[in-house]
Structure 1
Amino acid sequence: MADRTLTQVSSERLDLGEFGHTLTVAFATVKVVVAHNRYREAIPSGENVIVDTEIEQLRAAGLQVVPFQRSSDSIGSLSAARKALLPISPIYGAEAQQALERLIAVERPDVLHLHNPYPLLSPWVIRTAHQHGVPVIQTVHNYRQVCSSGLYFRDGHNCRDCRGKLLGWPAIRNRCYRGSAAQSAIMATTLAVHRPTWRSVDRYIALTDKIAAHLADYGIPADRIVIKPNGLPDPGRPEPLGEGFLYGARLSPEKGLGLLLDAWRRHPEGALGPLRIAGDGELRHLAERAAAERSDITYLGPLDRAGMTAARRAAAVVVAVPTWEDVLPTVILEAMAAGRAVLGTAVGGVPYLIGNGPDAAGWLAAPDPAALAAALPAARDGAAAAAAASRERYLRHFHPDVLTRRLIEVYAATIADAQRTER
C-alpha cells in the first residue's frame, strides 16, 4: 500500500465497488472470530502458517481477533468418552458447538471467519454462528465441499468421480479419506449433510480463479465469491542467490517427487547443479534412493521452518511440481517472498502464482517428465533474472499489506450486508 499504514486503513471510508456500496467504519471496534482446526504440527502445514499470518496482520491493522481453534494433535489426549464421539465430529462436533456458543455470548463478534473445520470443529459452526446472528466467511483451501480427501486426486491421478452426486459413494468404494472405507463413509455423509450448510455461507474467499469456478460449479452465486489469494510476511531484502534447486514438500504422490526425479534423471549427473530434497512422507524412500544413486541429489530430511529458510537461501530455484490441482502452494509464496525463482507445473493455482510474461516469477511446465526435463536447463540458466521478477511479483500481488486491506474490505461488505438484512 502506498503512503498509508494498515492502522490508517482500519478506520476510513472504504470504497467497496465490487460489492456495490461504500462503508464508513472504525475497524478498531470490529471483532472477528477466526475458526480453524489446525493440522498436525509434525507435518508442515501451509494452511496453519496462513491462518497465523492473517491473525497477526489483522491485529496489526487494528481489528480485534478472537481465535477459535482446535488441533488435530490433541486427539491422542482426549478422554475415552470424547474419543468415542470422534467418528461423528466432522458432522456435528458437540463440544465445539457448545464452546462456540459460549464464546459468541461473551465476545459478541461481528463476523466469523472459518478456515478448516475438520475433524474437530465441523461445518456445524456455520449453523451455530448463524443461530446467534453472526455472518460467516470461509476461505476455501481445498475441494472438500465435494471431495472427501479435498484433493480431487486418488491413486496417482486426478479424480472428480464424486462431483454432482448426492452421496460420494466413489469415495467410500475407493477409501479416499485416510485409506478407510468407514472414515470415508463418514466424510461422504458429512458432505451430503452439510450441502445446505455450505450454501448458507455469507461470503466465500476463493484463493484463485479455479477455486472460484469450483464454488460456482457447487452452486454458490457469483456475488458471494471473492478472489483473494494468501500472503506471507515479508522476510525483507532477499539474500544473494545460492545454487541449484530446492524441492520442499510432503513426500506424497500428488506433490510430484516421482515426476521431478524422472525428469532429473534425463540429464547427466551434475549437469544441472545440485538438487536438494526436503520433507517426509510415504515416498521418502524415493528421495533416499535418489540421493544414494547420484552425487548431485541430497536428501535433507524433514525440516522445520528455520531449516526450510536456510535451505531456500542456499538455492537459486525452488521447484514446486504437484500433479494434483494444488490450490495455492505456500512453498511458491515463500520462494517469491525470498526472491527465488520458481519452476512449477501448470496445474491448479500454480500458474496463478507464477504468472506469465516478463514479470513471471519463473517457469511453467506440463506435469510430465519430458516437459519438466526440458524446463530444468532454462531454470538453471535464468535463475538470476527470474529471481528479481519473483520478488517484485510478491510485493505487488501477495504482500500482506495488499492482501490484508483486501480482507478488511471483505469483512466490511459482509458485515454491512448482514446489518442491512437485519433492518
Structure 2
Amino acid sequence: MRILIIHTFYQNPGGEDTVFQQESKLLAMDNEVALLTFQNKKGWRGALQTLSSFWNVSASNRVKRTIKEFKPEVVHIHNTHYASGPIILRAVHQMGIPLVMTLHNFRLLCPSAILYHDKALFLSSLQESFPWTAIKLGVMDNSVIKTFVLALNYWFHRKIGTWNRVDRYIALSSFAKNLFINSTLNVQARKFSIKPNFTFPIDKYNATYADYFIYIGRLTEEKGVLDLLEAFSRISDKILIIGDGELKQEVLDAASKNENIKYLGFKSRDEIIPLVEKAAALIVPSIWFEGMPMTILEAFSVGTPVLGSNIGALQELIIPNKTGLLFSPQNVDSILKTVSQWKDYNSEEKFNIRQTTKEFYFSNFTPEENKEKLLHIYHEAIHDSTK
C-alpha cells in the first residue's frame, strides 16, 4: 500500500512524535511510505505560524504537491497544530485521497487539549458549541488571548465542516472514543476506530527483581507528581523518579529530605527499560485523562505491573490483579493503600500477575498487532471514501 504520513513536530519532543516515528518505521517495512513533516517554531516565527494556522495556504500547497508526486492510496495525519493547520485536511479531501487522523489529545474538543486546568479536570468545553468557559479561564498557558485564538480557529473549522473531511479517526481507547462521540464535535460515530499505541518487544528478560517502585514521565502537576512525592515521604519504600519538567525542583527537594526518593533525571529508553524490568511496579498517579502512555506499554512488555489512577483510559489498561492495581486519583491515602496491597502479595501471586501482564502486552500492543489494525483502518477509510 502507498501511504503518505503527515505530522507536525512540537517545539519539544513528546509522545506524539514518538508514535509518528514508530508507526512510520513499522509501516515502511512492507509498504511504500512517504513522510511529510512540519516543525513548530519559537518566538515571533511561532506567533506567525499560530496566526497562519487558520488558513495556511503554504502548508496546503505542500500537501497537494506531495500527493501529486507520490500518489498515495491513503493519507494518515497525526498532528496539525500549529505549523500546518486544519486546512491540510481539506487539501487531502480536495485531492480525493482517503484520510485517516489519529487523535492523540483532545484539542478538537477544547483549547486545553488535555481537558485539565487549575489542578482539576476541565470538561466544560465538551458540551459547549463555543468554548467560552475555557477562554474566560485561559486554559491554554493561562492566557485568555492564546485560548481565544486557538478556540476560534478550531470552532471556525468545525463550522465549515473541516473535521468531517476525515474518513476515519483513530482514538487510542474506548474512553477517548466515547468522549469525542458524545461531545459537540458533531462527527458521526461510525468514523471513529480504536487503535492503541504499541512498543517494540524486549529481547532479553531479567530473572531477578528489586524492591523499588518507579515513576517515568513529565514532572508536571497533571501527572500527579506532587501526590506521589507526598505518598512516598510517608513510607520507607524506595521509588525512582525519571523525567524532567516544571516540578523538577519539588522532586529534588523531596529527594533531599527522604532517602527513599531517588531522582535520576532524564534517561534514554535503553537506560529506562532495565530499570522498569527490575522494578516492583511502575506507578502512574495521573490526575488527567492520559492518552495511551508509552511507559505503561513498555512496562507491560517486560512483565512489570502498573499501579495507577482509576481515571480515563488507564482503567482499560490496568486490570486489577491482572496487570496491576488501581487507586483513586488525587488521593495520597489510596496510593499508600495500593502500594501496601501490592507488597502484601506473596511471590507466587506477584509472579502470576507479571505473567498476565506480559501476555496482555503480546495480545494487544505488539508491532504486528498494531500494523494489522492500522492497515484494516486504512482499508475502511478507502472503502468509505468511495461511497
Hey, what does 1:395 align to over in structure 2? Answer: 362
SS in 2 for 1:137: strand
Code of the residue aligned with 1:323 in structure 2: it is: I
Paired with 1:169 and 1:310, the residues of 2 have a C-alpha distance of: 47
Query: 1:201-212, aligned counterparts within 5 Å?
Result: 201-212=166-177
Aligned equivalent of 1:410, options 374, 377, 381 = 377
**Is structure 2 residue 28 aligned with structure 1 residue 59?**
yes
Paired with 1:83 and 1:334, the residues of 2 have a C-alpha distance of: 34
Residues 328-348 of structure 1: per-residue CA shift (max 9 Å, x gap): 122111111122111111111
Hey, what does 2:257 align to over in structure 1? Answer: 293
Code of the residue aligned with 2:7 in structure 1: it is: H
Q: Quick one: structure 1 residues 381 and 237, their matched pair in 2 at CA, closer, same or farther if it must change by over 3 Å?
A: farther
Code of the residue aligned with 1:46 in structure 2: it is: G
Contact 1:34 1:66 in 2 (8 A): yes
Aligned equivalent of 2:244, options 275, 280, 288 = 280
Q: CA RMSD in A?
A: 1.9
Percent identity over the alignment? 28
Q: Displaced runs of 4+ in structure 1, greater than 6 A?
A: none
Hey, what does 1:251 align to over in structure 2? Answer: 219
Paired with 1:93 and 1:192, the residues of 2 have a C-alpha distance of: 16
Aligned equivalent of 2:97, options 134, 150, 159 = 134
Hey, what does 1:362 align to over in structure 2? Answer: 324
Q: Quick one: structure 1 residues 263 and 84, their matched pair in 2 at CA, closer, same or farther if it must change by over 3 Å?
A: closer
Paired with 2:154 and 2:194, the residues of 1 have a C-alpha distance of: 23
Aligned equivalent of 1:374, options 322, 325, 337 = 337
**Is structure 2 residue 314 aligned with structure 1 residue 350?**
yes
Total equivalences in the alignment: 377
Hey, what does 1:38 align to over in structure 2? Answer: 9
Residues 105-154 of structure 1: per-residue CA shift (max 9 Å, x gap): 10111111111111112121110000111121111111111111211100
1:282 is displaced (CA, Å) by: 1.3
Hey, what does 2:191 align to over in structure 1? Answer: 224
Paired with 1:246 and 1:173, the residues of 2 have a C-alpha distance of: 38
Code of the residue aligned with 1:210 in structure 2: it is: F
SS in 1 for 2:17: helix
Q: Quick one: structure 1 residues 39 and 84, their matched pair in 2 at CA, closer, same or farther if it must change by over 3 Å?
A: closer
1:200 is displaced (CA, Å) by: 2.6
Hey, what does 2:281 align to over in structure 1? Answer: 317
Hey, what does 1:5 align to over in structure 2? Answer: none
Paired with 1:180 and 1:90, the residues of 2 have a C-alpha distance of: 18
Paired with 2:88 and 2:344, the residues of 1 have a C-alpha distance of: 50
Code of the residue aligned with 1:287 in structure 2: it is: V
1:243 is displaced (CA, Å) by: 3.0
Hey, what does 1:71 align to over in structure 2? Answer: 39
SS in 1 for 2:127: coil
User: Which is further off, 173-182 or 226-235?
Assistant: 173-182
Code of the residue aligned with 1:40 in structure 2: it is: Q
Paired with 1:144 and 1:287, the residues of 2 have a C-alpha distance of: 29
Paired with 1:355 and 1:71, the residues of 2 have a C-alpha distance of: 38
User: Which is further off, 314-323 or 237-246?
Assistant: 237-246
Residues 160-206 of structure 1: per-residue CA shift (max 9 Å, x gap): 12223232222222222233222211111111012121133111111
User: Which is further off, 325-334 or 87-96?
Assistant: 87-96
Normalised TM-score (structure 1)? 0.84
Contact 2:109 2:180 in 1 (8 A): no
Paired with 1:242 and 1:411, the residues of 2 have a C-alpha distance of: 43
Paired with 1:138 and 1:90, the residues of 2 have a C-alpha distance of: 17
Hey, what does 2:268 align to over in structure 1? Answer: 304
Aligned equivalent of 2:16, options 40, 44, 47 = 47
Aligned equivalent of 2:353, options 378, 382, 386 = 386
1:381 is displaced (CA, Å) by: 4.5
Query: 1:85-100, aligned counterparts within 5 Å?
Result: 85-100=48-63
Code of the residue aligned with 1:133 in structure 2: it is: G
Q: Quick one: structure 1 residues 236 and 351, their matched pair in 2 at CA, closer, same or farther if it must change by over 3 Å?
A: farther
Q: Quick one: structure 1 residues 194 and 379, their matched pair in 2 at CA, closer, same or farther if it must change by over 3 Å?
A: farther
Contact 2:78 2:101 in 1 (8 A): yes
Q: Quick one: structure 1 residues 229 and 157, their matched pair in 2 at CA, closer, same or farther if it must change by over 3 Å?
A: same
Residues 23-45 of structure 1: per-residue CA shift (max 9 Å, x gap): xxxxxxx211111112334x5x2
**Is structure 2 residue 147 aligned with structure 1 residue 176?**
no
Mark the runs of 5 or more structure 1 residues left unpaired by the alignment: 1-29
SS in 2 for 1:246: strand
Code of the residue aligned with 1:190 in structure 2: it is: N
SS in 2 for 1:312: helix
1:314 is displaced (CA, Å) by: 4.4
1:263 is displaced (CA, Å) by: 2.2
Code of the residue aligned with 2:302 in structure 1: it is: A
Hey, what does 2:81 align to over in structure 1? Answer: 118
